[in-house]
Structure 1
Amino acid sequence: MAQHSSAPYTVCPVARSLDLVGDRWTVLILRELYMGATRFEEIQIQTEATPQMLATRLKSLEANGLIERHRYNERPLRFEYRLSEKGRAFYPVVYAMRAWGETWCKDDGEEVAVRFVHRECGHDVGLGSVCPNCGVPVEHNDLDALVSDKFAAERVERRAAFKRK
């Protein structure tokens, strides 16, 4: 993963963004952070990244200001990872990828993996970013995530498989 430099090779904001978050593992790590994971092992379990790959991506995300590392244990030394303001600001991109993936990357009859409910009015917002019930634009903090049974089972199975190793 490329590091942000002080001398950009292009003025294109898309290319610059891809330098920071343009690979599968980085986006999956961010997805896990948005879903509430903060510890290395849980992020590794749910992304299925190798420890080396995950460590490299986390260091890059930290160096580029998308996450902050916080010590939670002294012996052994352990850290958790939290989104910075810059990292939280990337959420609409992942939310849009989710909507696109639900629309274009699933077979007919497959259920939505994660439903989002507008906390204020209690209605499902579907795949959009405006509540269809009250017409209010919604952000990450306005929503409660309801993970489908199938996706929840997939996540539980990943934890179990990891513990069997």
Structure 2
Amino acid sequence: MNRDELAAQTLCPVARAETVVGDRWTVLVLRELTMNSRRFEEIQAQTGATPQMIAARLKKLEADGLVERHIYSQRPLRHEYRLTEKGDAFYPVLLALRAWGETWCKSPEEGRAISYTHRVCGKSAGLGPVCESCGKPVRREDLIAEQNPSYRAEREARYEAFKASR
């Protein structure tokens, strides 16, 4: 019995959600889409996954209604990927993973990989699902992201290495 069939036999929402987003590569693809990486090669470069892994995850995310493909070039035919409303609704899960990772998987000396300013109040949003400054819930569209210089350099180096390897 496959994962989807097992999930259909339970009312557990965690088990059902896991069949959609329950692997590392899918979560990393969703992370990249929330960071406005829309093209296949950008997603591949930043996740480190093989083309086959990325293609399979994007195809499944599209079938599950989290991602839509949009043509950005006719010759050659090329697509970019955008989150749907359902895909965007995964953002609080990414925020929770980020908060847990910042708290438990890094040393404080490393600093936050990304700091968010809450557009609503103009102050630091912090790590939680609510703004640490004003207490209002944070939504992706209400956040201004500023990458730590080291994290930005890491991402740029990863992309440059990817382009050089092609």
Do both proteins adopt the same fold according to a TM-score greater than 0.5, normalized to the shorter chain?
A: yes
**Aligned pairs for 1:99-114 within 5 A:** 99-114=99-114
TM-superposed CA distance for 1:3, in Å, is 7.5
C-alpha separation in 2, matches of 1:121 and 1:91: 20
The 2-side partners of 1:84 and 1:72 are apart by 17
- 8 Å contact from structure 1 (residues 3, 60) kept in 2: no
Aligned pairs, number: 163
SS in 2 for 1:115: strand
CA distance in 1, matches of 2:135, 2:57: 37
Alpha-carbon distance between aligned partners in 2 of 1:114 and 1:62, rounded to the nearest angstrom: 27
Given the superposition, is the C-alpha separation of residues 105 and 28 from structure 1 closer, same or farther in structure 2, using an over 3 Å criterion?
Answer: same
Q: 1:162 matched to which residue of 2?
A: 162
TM-score (norm 2): 0.93
CA RMSD of aligned residues (A): 1.5
SS across alignment from 2:99: helix
Deviation for aligned residue 1:132:
2.7
Q: Which has the higher helix share?
A: 2
Q: Kindly, what percent of the aligned residue pairs are identical? A: 60
Tell me if the contact between 1:61 and 1:67 (Cα under 8 Å) persists in the aligned partners: yes
Change (3 A) 1:3 1:30: farther
Query: Matched residues in 1 for 2:81 and 2:114: separation?
Result: 23
Q: TM-score, normalised by structure 1?
A: 0.93
Give the CA deviation at 1:33: 0.4
How far does the alpha carbon of each residue in 1:55-100 deviate from its partner, in whole angstroms, 9 at most, with x for none? 0000000001000011111111110100011101111000100000
Query: 1:126, CA displacement in angstroms?
Result: 1.2
